[in-house]
Amino acid sequence: MAATGDGIAAFSRHWHAQQTATPAKGDEQERQARLFKGLLEAKTRVDQVVIEDSKFPDLYDQLATQSEPQNYFFEPYATQWCPQLLKKGAIIPLPSVIATSMEEEMQTLTLSGLLTPIDHAWTSVDHRLFLWNYKQRGRFAVFEFDQPVVAVGLCQRPRPGVFTDKVQHLLAVATTVEVVLVAVLYEDNKTLASGLRLQRTKLSVSTDNTVVRRIVATASTGRIFFGGSDGGVYEIIYGPTPAGAASASSASSSLGLDTSIFIPSFLQRSACRKVTHTSHLANYLPSFLSALTSSAGKILEFALDEDRQILYALHDQGDIDVFDLGAQGRETQLVCTVNLLAGGAKYARATAAKAMIKGLMKGRNENNQFLIRQLREQCPSYFTVSDLWHYQGHKSLALAKLSAPSGRATHLNESLSQFLQACHMWDTEECIEVLQGICDDYALLNFYEGVVKLALACAKNFHDAAATDLTGSKLMLKRSCLGCVLLVLQRVLKNDTSSSPQAVDEMVRLDEETRQRFTQQILHYSLASEDSDFHLLLYSWLYEHGETKLLTSIRSQFIESFLKEKDQDLLIKMYMEQQKYLVAAKVWWSRAHEDNEDMALDQNPDIVKRQYYVSKAMSCLKSIPDVSEAADAIREVRDVLDVLQLQVRILKSLEQATIALESSTSSGRGDSELRERRADLQQLTYKIFDASTLYNQFASKYDIFVFPVGFLAKLLERISAWYIRVANLPPSAHEHREIPVLLEQFRRFKSELMSFRNQL
């Protein structure tokens, strides 16, 4: 700066000397005068800046004059780093009340922590929370909750406009099911030295099955953050909101709290909820794909920088989330996530060169031929055969992108063949990312055969390992491979091209015929797989997305077992489409006779549903082209329909008789009869009986005569046919003891039916 000023002064002296020696013209003098004036103004400005700069100490001088060589500088910059050495002071024992509670009770969870701003410590013993002053012995407070306490945080200054001046602080107490806000009040509204008491506010938020580990609050704005086992960062919003117009009395009564600690306006607009400041891909995926994403890891610790308004969250996997709270501390924005686990560097170095090879494969390949050949010849262990096929596959794929549609298929098939020879080595997460990128390129080129075949080939690498891997990591990698097929299928079915970053051809929405053709291609190559896990994943995806038409059109050995367990209506629909009418009738028949003794009786189908199922079985049998083949089955189903109709009549008659009995019953004897009738009504409603049981157990018992003459005649004919068939058995069969008994039963039942018909 000084040198610049000296130069300007020298130029000024030289200009004056020149003016004295040689007179100049008027216009030249005027021009030089303006130049000289500008230079003087510049010198004055530079001198002012030099003076202002000299008021502040130089950074080098500051660093050189420090007493310690490793000082750091924070806001304000002149403040030195606080000493980091800790010295052990006095040992303070737990209060006797807390120690006794821990020893005597059969506690399952005991935690402790410090609340240094108010000179208190907290200790939880199951659902009981103790607060005690570690500077003034003997002062403590006890608070009980419904569930065990797992974490406690202190909010030094609550949000303005919520509580009165009585509430000095807030405690955020996390239990296993909720986070509760507890008001901290000083006794007689005095200072901390007079002791404190806790007041329940009934302001709480649910943890939604998350085990809360840490709670932190800002001192300036009263914002409360918490995190736990799911890796999410949550904030409790408990300030007044614009919504709500309820009166103060109604709000206080609904909350069930002491209204003296609240500002009345807050009671009119009370709100307590939680918001999440982190989100994961698993929230947006279907249920069967949610396992493909890994969680962020549990929250271990929070750190709050009040000066810079920054919140740090440490996860158990070494990740640190950095949140910017804004200049006023009222915003929340996730800036970045970093991982400080340096222990994995030695493993990363071993594969760094291989990562360079992967980058070489994906890059422009025009000028790499000589380098590839040299690597293959001179470094076979470094550049393996699998790497060579991998490189050739990317080369063919790049040529396919640049080719015309007419010649593109050749390059695509070549790339698929080359990738299939290399993919047996793709067994890491990095390789799965490579697979996903290749599948995206194939999808852009409408090469769905390549997507399915390559994804299934990569999934085969994890098939055996997934069955024995207890951690589940191999299964997740396998599902990641199979997920490539499902994502492409979803894009085609939804006709969605917006997710594609770019396309070789002009990207337009597919017409219906083309969309169906691509869908059939994907299903054709998918159903050719023999992997039962993939079939189950594919069928589940189609079922969850409502693609029932595609599901019933599938011809596979795995589809029947899936539909039997998932949806029998779709199973019958598939049989009908395949013209398997007899098989469909058997399904309806088995549903009509379903009787699960392990469940409650009312969990079985009622008589109306059973009647419907049998009628549907009859419809299926009548759809058989050659009805004579199912004549016996039709006759049997028709007889069952008649018996079911008879059971419905008996049920209705018994219901009417029971209602009449209920209106006239007043004695204990009548109550027992009513219980018996209700039990029989339940049996008739949810079970299916034959004609003999209906007559002997219900009709004759309650004097119900709903048997039509035609039905009795038909039943008598069947009894006679059975009797003749048994009577004509060979003599050797009569040696069995069951045969004479059966003949006697037939004879007696036949005589009863004949006498009953004659009475009618």
Q: Please check whether residue 264 is in contact with residue 247, taking contact to mean a CB–CB distance below 8 angstroms.
A: no
How many residues are listed for the chain in this entry?
Answer: 760
Rounded to whole angstroms, how far apart are CA atoms 317 and 71?
Answer: 30
| Residue in 452, 461, 578, 604 with CA at minimum distance from that of residue 519 | 452
Which residue is it, tokens 């109550």? 671
Rounded to whole angstroms, how far apart are CA atoms 475 and 537?
Answer: 12
Rounded to whole angstroms, how far apart are CA atoms 293 and 463?
Answer: 19
Which residue is it, tokens 């020149």? 18
CA-based max dimension of the chain: 161
Element (H, E) at 161: none
Rounded to whole angstroms, how far apart are CA atoms 160 and 673?
Answer: 69
Task: Please report the DSSP string for 518-560 in residue order.
Answer: HHHHHHHHHHT---HHHHHHHHHHHHHTT-HHHHHT---TTHH
Q: Please check whether residue 109 is in contact with residue 126, taking contact to mean a CB–CB distance below 8 angstroms.
A: yes
Segments of the chain scoring below 50 in pLDDT = 1-2, 4, 22, 67-84, 242-257, 266-269, 288, 348-350, 352, 364-366, 498-507, 709, 759-760
Task: Please report the DSSP string for 50-66 in residue order.
Answer: HHHHHTS--HHHHHHT-
Q: Please check whether residue 392 is in contact with residue 365, taking contact to mean a CB–CB distance below 8 angstroms.
A: no
Order of all β-strands in the sheet with 196-206:
149-155, 167-175, 178-186, 196-206
3-state SS, residue 44: helix
Any bridge partners for residue 169, and if so which?
184
Element (H, E) at 324: strand 319-324
| The amino acid at 693 | T
Give me the pLDDT at residue 107, please.
55
Q: Cα 703 vs. chain centroid, distance in angstroms? A: 60
Give me the pLDDT at residue 86, please.
57
- What share of residues in the chain are helix, strand, coil (percent, to 5)? 55, 15, 30
3-state SS, residue 377: helix
Give me the pLDDT at residue 448, please.
93
* Dihedral angle sign, alpha carbons of residues 242, 246, 247, 248: negative
pTM: 0.46
What's the CATH fold of domain 98-339? Methylamine Dehydrogenase; Chain H (2.130.10)
Count of C-beta atoms within a 10 Å radius of residue 120: 25
Q: Which long-range contacts (CB under 8 A, 24 or more apart) does 553-559 make?
A: 553/577, 554/523, 554/527, 555/527, 556/527, 558/532, 559/535
Paired tokens of 157: 């200054």
Give me the pLDDT at residue 350, please.
47
DSSP state of 760: -
Rounded to whole angstroms, how far apart are CA atoms 643 and 691?
Answer: 6
Q: Cα 206 vs. chain centroid, distance in angstroms? A: 17
Count of C-beta atoms within a 10 Å radius of residue 403: 16
Give me the pLDDT at residue 243, please.
42
